Amino acid sequence: MNIKKGISSLGCAAVAALALASSCAKETTTYQNDDAKIYLDAWMSVNHPGVQPTGLGIYIIEDQPGSGDAVTDDDYYYSIRYTATDLDGNISGTSEEKVAQQTGSYTKGNYYGPTIVMGSYYSTQPGVLEAIKGMKVGGTRKVVVPGWLNSTISTSKSEKYYTTAEEFYKNKSGSDAIYTLTLTDKTDNINKWEVDSLERYTARMMNDVDSTFYGYYYQQLKEPTDTTTFPRDTTFYINYIGRLLNGQVFDTTIEDTAKFYGVYSSSRTYEPQMVKLNETYTDITLGGSSGSDGSTTINGFAYCLSKLKAYEKGICAFYSALGYSYSGSGNVIPSFAPLTFEIEIVDKEE
């Protein structure tokens, strides 16, 4: 036997086998959430051992069932109260007034209470919607939401609409959070839901007036001095108070009212505002001066202005399709909030 040849043949076989093994081995793929998952898994094993993730990947650590209607696949709008913390218990957000007061983040003029979230990952965190799934109205859940389920899908980046746990894990990132959620109501028809609330409000606060048209109500508080309709190029002045249906004031031209309800701003002048009518109510402007036009306003408010007569006073109430719709306005008007305005035509202050 040729020893050299034998060793050479063995070496060639070994090299060939190694090359084959290398070509068959799977490449290890890493993702941006790998380290975060290791940390969260360890945290869960210490703080909530035995709790298994849901299908999408959140952890339900407390569940107090409600006695109301159960969430169905047809529902799209959910009214919730919530408090969110990080894994160390530091509060990052809340809809609860008492919690805000305890943490020192409370502002008197801000809205606190149930807020509407929509059943879309474009507008609501996937982890929050996963928590709501299976709940009944009146129920409360406390859930741990991994960071990759705690951010919405972007509409501006042409981002794919992810739907599975794997897709979110591979493509999304964020901060882990613990949510305590209470489901206060739900609906598949937000317009009807708002109008129902307006019907209850007007029955209690506006002498049960009928709607002028769908979603809009008006009650006269003081008769006009002249019932003639204003020409469409008329300019007049008003005082007003804007409220949510819970009575909270979010805007006013009256200084004492602004101070009492916590919406006062030292940078604003509190005085009657100029209204300039136009051919169509949507082009009516509010504010400005004799030398410059003001700004157009939300449709429900503008329609009310278009119908007022000389020195009339009244209250209009309307659903959010005539107001700020799904976006709300800052921290004072939540999404899908019906609004009321008490308006009076007054003389210009000299």
The pLDDT tens digits for 82-103 are: 999 999 999 999 999 999 999 9
Q: Alpha carbon 306 to chain centroid distance?
A: 30
The answer to whether 78 touches 137, Cβ cutoff 8 Å, is no
What is the structure's pLDDT at 71?
A: 98
Q: Per-residue pLDDT averaged across 60-78, rounded?
A: 98
Q: Where are the alpha helices (DSSP H) in 76-213?
A: 97-103, 126-132, 165-171, 190-205
Q: What mean pLDDT is reported for the chain?
A: 93
The CATH number of domain 34-188, selected from 3.10.50.40, 3.20.20.100, 3.40.50.10540, 3.40.350.10: 3.10.50.40
DSSP code, position 322:
G
Quick: pLDDT tens for 281-315.
Answer: 999 999 987 667 799 999 999 999 999 999 999 99
Query: Domains of the chain: which residue ranges?
Result: 34-188, 191-346
Query: pLDDT band for position 156 (50/70/90)?
Result: confident
**pLDDT at residue 185 is higher than 70:** yes
Q: Which pair of tokens denotes residue 166?
A: 């794997």
Kindly report the backbone phi and psi dihedral angles of residue 15, in degrees, each rounded to the nearest multiple of 5, phi listed first: -60, -40
DSSP code, position 123:
T
Comparing 34-188 with 191-346, is the CATH topology the same?
yes
Angle in degrees, CA 17, 22, 25, rounded to 5: 125
Query: pLDDT band for position 120 (50/70/90)?
Result: very high
pTM of the model: 0.88
Taking every pair of Cα atoms in the chain, the longest distance, rounded to a whole number of angstroms, is 125
In the chain, the amino acid numbered 115 is T
Q: How far is CA 283 from CA 232, 286, 321, in A?
A: 11, 10, 17
**pLDDT at residue 323 is higher than 70:** yes
Fold of 191-346: Chitinase A; domain 3 (3.10.50)
In the chain, the amino acid numbered 113 is G
Window from 1-10, 130-139, 237-246, 274-283 with minimum mean pLDDT: 1-10
Percent above pLDDT 70 for the chain: 92
3-state DSSP assignment of residue 42? helix
With helix as H, strand as E and coil as C, how does 66-106 read?
CCCCECCCCCCEEEEEEEEECCCCCEEEECCHHHHHHHCCC
What is the structure's pLDDT at 255?
A: 98
